[in-house]
Amino acid sequence: MSTQCGSKIDFKQVDEIIQSYGSKKSNLIAILQQVQEKFRYLPEDVMTYIGTKIEGLSPATVYGVATFYTQFSLEPKGKYEIRVCDGTACHVRGSMPVLNAIKARLNLKEGQLTSDDALFSLETVSCLGACGLAPVVVINGTVYPQMTSDGIKVILDTIAKEGA
Amino acid sequence: MVKFDIKKEQEKANEHIKEQGLRVLVCAGTGCVANGSLKVIEKFRELGANVSTLTSYDKMTVVPTGCHGFCEQGVLVIIPDKDITYVRVKEADVEEIYQSHIVENKPVERLLYTDPHTNQHIHKSEDINFYAKQTRTALANCGHINAESIEEAIAVRGYEALTKVLEENNPDAVIKEIEDSGLRGRGGGGFPTGRKWRFTAANMGGKSYVVCNGDEGDPGAFMDRSVMEGDPHKLLEGMAIAAFAIGADEGYIYVRAEYPLAIKRLRKAIADAEAAGLLGKNIMGTDFSFELHIKEGAGAFVCGEETALMASIEGERGMPRSKPPFPAYKGLFGRPTLINNVETLANVPVILLNGASWFNSFGTEKSKGTKTFALTGEVKNTGLIEVPMGTTLREIVFDIGGGIRGDKKFKAVQIGGPSGGCLTEEHLDMPMDYDNLIKAGAMVGSGGLVVLNEDTCIVEIARFFMNFTQNESCGKCVPCREGTKQMLKILEKIVAGRGEMEDLDTLEELAIAVKDGSLCGLGKTAPNPVLSTLKYFRDEYIAHIRDKKCPAGVCTALKKIVIKEDLCKGCTKCARTCPVGAISGEVKLPHVIDQSKCIKCEACLGACPFKAIVKE
């Protein structure tokens, strides 16, 4: 999937997305999800565009919705999206050491969510519903069960070698 | 006039299942998929191609099912014809199962479940303690049918209840049946379902909606996910019956974004049901139409609250609205709306098929029926269970759950997620139901049960939950937005070793303010874990504050790492391992850790060959 950050955005694609769901306020979240799927984040220009295109919306309300839900990202995500589950079960079984190991391995500074080489982005989620396999890490849809701080380093190294 | 011959369809479906030959059921719920079940399925399919040449079966069909619930023992493989359940199956084991059992009829003993008490190998899942003690009604079909086949759903009596309801054509009778069953909301509120239906039906006439709350935001809960993944048609049927009863013709299932498999299975189920005339316009050829849509969440715990959920469906920020007006009167898009949890709706067809008196033969006086629980944390058998209301905590944790992992000491069970509270040893023999739990300062909630052992710091758990609810607070009302923030600050102070005794009073005052003043359930229940842990584990808080000690040895700031003088041989390994140079000493003489420099990373602990370094 290509990242179209900063470069010209094809608004025709945005129109297609709006039309496929219907140009209604109640479809905003689904539209934004599809936009993020396509562009890997929500570009400000696209949010403004949607806010002016759909009746009943404004750029401010679109921005409000985009910043309310944690799924939406206003910055480009990495090629590999790491989701560490920090739900109760995973927390109790040791999700924090895994999270710290990832931050250390990716050299992420305080508040930084995407690695400098844009290969990985990291977020914690509240519960993936796979509590029997705690602690759980998901990378681009693949679920890694019973993770440890050593295990996750091996996985990241493997992905980095293959994916860079 | 109902133009759907359910008996004929069931016969057809059962024929089709017979034609599948030998069925091999492999769990393809999210958990087992993570453990490689898709590879297991592929391998079985590959090998099974020649089953007719090697056995008397003319065909072998590998069936991906929904979650069996025994997640600790995944991947689960059940072969009904051979009366066998295999556990912890890996791709590399498939060949042996195929050759030894399917072809030569010799069970593979090493892949059977071993009972921890008798050390016996168990063949059938019904005999495994984990299952034997359960009463699966909402989860009855999960793990036994192909979750993506409407035919298999029909074979296990799917849509039979809907057929009956449409044939009898009496919405009022349906509502009465649900009222008589005693079913209460399974999402956490425990509001009598039949009464909610009655209220909503009273406003019928114009446009009404049925909404299913599939947000399941509680960390540690995955019951609704399993129903949606494992038996989606049951949910669709429950919603259709509800719509008929309250006069709705359109509905939404709100599923959280973190459940992509559930979304996929639900979409397929809806499409298949529409194609079969069991959903959509003129269901079964009658006047009743019910159009069902799926709305995906976008990552907001607060959207599990019914008014926030409806705001989200309307395309807005998921912020709750004041009640009254209640959704039954004015809900989605301003119309009368019935909003129920997934498990509540999944119980509807079951109740209508078996009758209200069957359902209320289970449970306690005011809490009827069964309840699913997600049993996780420091328990041996983590997984998904369903038991009659009134089952005790002891039975759940020690019987079905198999006891504490590593045989450590039971400390508490956290129930009800971030809105819930703790149950301790004194509650082990309490029958679990809505009212008993509220009396104990907890709540059934969605049914997430996290078992905590002696190595868990209760104060840290309270901080963890407050951190969660603070993050998820939508910000609309001051008591929740500011109150949870201040409560969190105090808890963070305490686990960092900077707590003061007055903090406990402030914490309690704030908790009451937040509970009383918040607009919605998130704020109203956010203080519960704090109040509950203060009630039962006040000593642990005091230890953190007054003695600057963490009894469970968890809170980093309160950890003290010490070198035992009498055991230290002065080998200097620890001093060389320490990343911050906090250890000093001469060769062959006891070394010392400078506590002001120590960052508690415990590297030295692991490095010492004489086990001379300990945590105090």
- Concatenated DSSP letters for B483-538? HHHHHHHHHHHHHTT---THHHHHHHHHHHHHHHH-SSHHHHHTTHHHHHHHHH-H
Are B30 and A72 in contact (CB < 8 Å)? no
Is the backbone of residue B282 left (phi > 0), alpha (psi -120 to 50) or beta?
A: left
What confidence category does residue A3 fall into, taking pLDDT thresholds of 50, 70 and 90?
very low
Contact B518, B524 (CB under 8 A): yes
Are B260 and A29 in contact (CB < 8 Å)? no
What confidence category does residue A7 fall into, taking pLDDT thresholds of 50, 70 and 90?
low
**Reduced 3-state DSSP string for B165-206:** HHHHCCHHHHHHHHHHHCCECCCCCCCEHHHHHHHHHCCECE
Cα dihedral: B143, A128, B418, B340 (round 10): -50
Q: Is A104 on the interface with B (CB under 8 A)?
A: no
Are B218 and A127 in contact (CB < 8 Å)? yes
A contact test, residue of B90, B216, B316, B342 with most A CBs within 10 A: B316
Which of B612, B605, B558 shows the shortest CA–CA distance to B589?
Answer: B612
The alpha-carbon gap from A105 to the nearest alpha carbon of chain B, in Å, equals: 17
**Phi and psi at residue B172, to the nearest 5°:** -60, -40
B195/A155 Cα distance (integer angstroms): 52
**Contacts of residue A141 in chain B, CB cutoff 8 Å?**
260
Query: What pLDDT shows up at residue A2?
Result: 41
B contact test, residue of A29, A63, A138 with most B CBs within 10 A: A29
Q: Which residue of B has its CA nearest to A36?
A: B298
Query: What pLDDT shows up at residue B128?
Result: 86
Query: What pLDDT shows up at residue B279?
Result: 97
Question: Side chain identity at B409, as an amino acid letter?
Answer: K
Are B31 and A65 in contact (CB < 8 Å)? no
Is the backbone of residue A87 left (phi > 0), alpha (psi -120 to 50) or beta?
A: beta
B453/B407 Cα distance (integer angstroms): 9
Residue found by looking up tokens 């359910």 in the block? B6
Are A87 and B74 in contact (CB < 8 Å)? no
The alpha-carbon gap from B295 to the nearest alpha carbon of chain A, in Å, equals: 8
Are A88 and B225 in contact (CB < 8 Å)? no
Residue B64: CB atoms within 10 Å: 19
B418/B218 Cα distance (integer angstroms): 7
Q: Is A89 on the interface with B (CB under 8 A)?
A: yes
What average pLDDT does the structure give for chain B? Answer: 93
For residue B545, what are its two tokens? 């504050």
Mean pLDDT calculated for residue range B365-386: 91
B137 to B265, B354, B371, B494, B584: CA distances (angstroms): 20, 11, 9, 44, 64
For residue B265, what are its two tokens? 């299975």
**Contacts of residue A90 in chain B, CB cutoff 8 Å?**
219
B361/B389 Cα distance (integer angstroms): 10
Which of B378, B379, B397, B377 shows the shortest CA–CA distance to B387?
Answer: B397
**Contacts of residue A29 in chain B, CB cutoff 8 Å?**
295-296, 298, 312, 315
Tell me which residue in B219, B222, B299 faces A71 most closely, judged by beta carbons: B299
A120/A76 Cα distance (integer angstroms): 11
What average pLDDT does the structure give for chain A? Answer: 87
- pLDDT tens sequence across B423-434: 999 999 999 999
B contact test, residue of A21, A54, A126, A139 with most B CBs within 10 A: A126
Tell me which residues of chain A, numbers 123 to 152, contact chain B at a CB-CB cutoff of 8 Å.
125-134, 136, 141, 143-145
Query: What pLDDT shows up at residue A164?
Result: 60
Mean pLDDT calculated for residue range B245-259: 95
What confidence category does residue B125 fall into, taking pLDDT thresholds of 50, 70 and 90?
confident
- pLDDT tens sequence across B425-471: 999 999 999 999 988 888 888 888 989 999 899 999 999 999 999 99
Q: Between chain A and chain B, how many beta carbons pairs sit less than 8 Å apart?
A: 135
**Contacts of residue B258 in chain A, CB cutoff 8 Å?**
125, 127-129
Cα dihedral: A15, A21, A27, A32 (round 10): -50
Tell me which residue in B71, B221, B315 faces A132 most closely, judged by beta carbons: B71
B147/B143 Cα distance (integer angstroms): 8
- pLDDT tens sequence across B268-327: 999 999 999 999 999 999 999 999 999 999 989 999 999 999 999 999 999 999 999 999
**Contacts of residue A125 in chain B, CB cutoff 8 Å?**
258, 299
**Contacts of residue A33 in chain B, CB cutoff 8 Å?**
257, 296, 298
Task: Indicate the range of A17-31, A83-97, B330-344, B400-414 predicted with least confidence.
Answer: A83-97
Indicate whether this model's pTM tops 0.95: no
